[in-house]
């Protein structure tokens, strides 16, 4: 099978999808401030900046810049880890929790609409195949480390 032609077609179709609100919302959700808020919420409400950096695969300087912006908005606080004073812990404020929840609900609404356009069977298949690809890419990445 010629995977190159298939890859070119996937790239073409993915670029077409980028113009739609559901894809834009999803794209914003997996990077930037929304991702950071969700990451903190999903990981016990308090994390290390280095964990965020590793998860997003961006530099610690970029995360520090994003955290400064989020902190200025009042969505997070930072404190010294009482178990290791060299580490800083990042925690969501109640307002940050609310913003994270609002972002998630908005993204879910857009993606729900997009999936509904496929119909039940195709939507389930799309999610199944996306999950399968993510699993295989994760395994391949872990095997290479």
Q: Is the pLDDT of residue 126 over 80?
A: yes
pLDDT of residue 34: 87
Q: For residues 136 and 126, what is the distance between their CA atoms, to the nearest angstrom? A: 15
Give tens-digit pLDDT for 6-40: 888 888 888 887 776 655 555 555 668 888 999 99
Say what the pLDDT of residue 70 is: 95
Residues 6+ apart with CB under 8 A from 115: 123, 126, 127
Q: What is the pLDDT of residue 109?
A: 87
User: What integer pLDDT is reported at residue 17 of this predicted model?
Assistant: 77
Domain that holds residue 64: 3-144
Number of domains present in the structure of the chain: 1
CATH of the domain at 114: 1.10.10.10
Q: What is the pLDDT of residues 51-108, one digit of tens each?
A: 999 988 889 999 999 999 999 999 999 999 999 999 999 999 999 999 999 888 888 8
Residue 130 has pLDDT above 80, yes or no: yes
How far lies 39's CA from each of 48, 102, 121, in Å? 11, 14, 30
pLDDT (mean) for 108-133: 91
Q: What is the average per-residue pLDDT within 44-54?
A: 91
- Supply the pLDDT for residue 141: 65
Task: Indicate the burial class of 94 (C-beta count within 10 angstroms; 0-12, 13-18, 19 or more).
Answer: exposed
């Amino acid at each position: 099978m010629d995977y190159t032609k298939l890859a070119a077609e996937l790239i073409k179709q993915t670029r077409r999808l980028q113009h739609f609100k559901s894809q834009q919302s999803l794209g914003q959700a997996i990077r930037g401030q929304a991702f950071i808020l969700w990451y903190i919420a999903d990981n016990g409400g308090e994390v290390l900046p280095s964990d965020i950096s590793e998860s997003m695969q961006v530099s610690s300087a970029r995360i520090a810049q994003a955290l400064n912006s989020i902190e200025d908005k009042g969505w997070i606080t930072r404190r010294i880890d009482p178990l290791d004073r060299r580490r800083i812990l990042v925690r969501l404020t109640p307002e940050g929790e609310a913003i994270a929840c609002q972002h998630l609900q908005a993204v879910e609404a857009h993606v729900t609409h997009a999936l509904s356009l496929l119909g039940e069977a195709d939507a389930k298949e799309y999610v199944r195949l996306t999950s399968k690809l993510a699993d295989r890419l994760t395994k391949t990445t872990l095997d290479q480390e």
